[in-house]
Amino acid sequence: IEMNVTDRTDTVHILRAPEGGTLMEVLQNADLVAGICGGAASCGTCHVYVEEDWLSVTGERTEDETYMLEALEEEVPVTHKSRLSCQIALTTALDGITLQIAPEA
Ligand code: FES
């Protein structure tokens, strides 16, 4: 699964990982997000903006994710493209996904 990721300094990274786990884990391994809560949707450090065309592939926000994004909204821009990458399962459907790491809250 190949991912095109723009980091907080606007550098583009091409990341590759096998299916399984979450998108956050891949970003964390690449040192692009902290993932402090370990994927519990409670720290907000894995916030990303998913490119428009890929939004439907990533599915719906979870309830906990929605609450966390609402909390983040006070500190960083939260848009319809905002997702917590720990709530996105890494499946082959994501091959080619393009996303951007959100600013640090
Ligand atoms: Fe903490 Fe996703 S890793 S909210």
For the stretch 32-89, pLDDT in tens is: 999 999 999 999 999 999 999 999 999 999 999 999 999 999 999 999 999 999 999 9
Structure tokens at 76: 């960083």
Closest ligand 1 atom to residue 87 Cα is: 2
Which domains does the chain show, CATH number per domain?
A: 2-101 (3.10.20.30)
pTM of the model: 0.97
Q: Which residues line ligand 1 (CB under 6 A)?
A: 24, 35-37, 39-46, 68, 84, 86
- Name the nearest CA neighbour of 67 among 49, 80, 84: 84
Closest ligand 1 atom, CA of 46?
2
Q: What is the pLDDT of residues 88-104, one digit of tens each?
A: 999 999 999 999 999 99
Total number of residues shown for the chain: 105
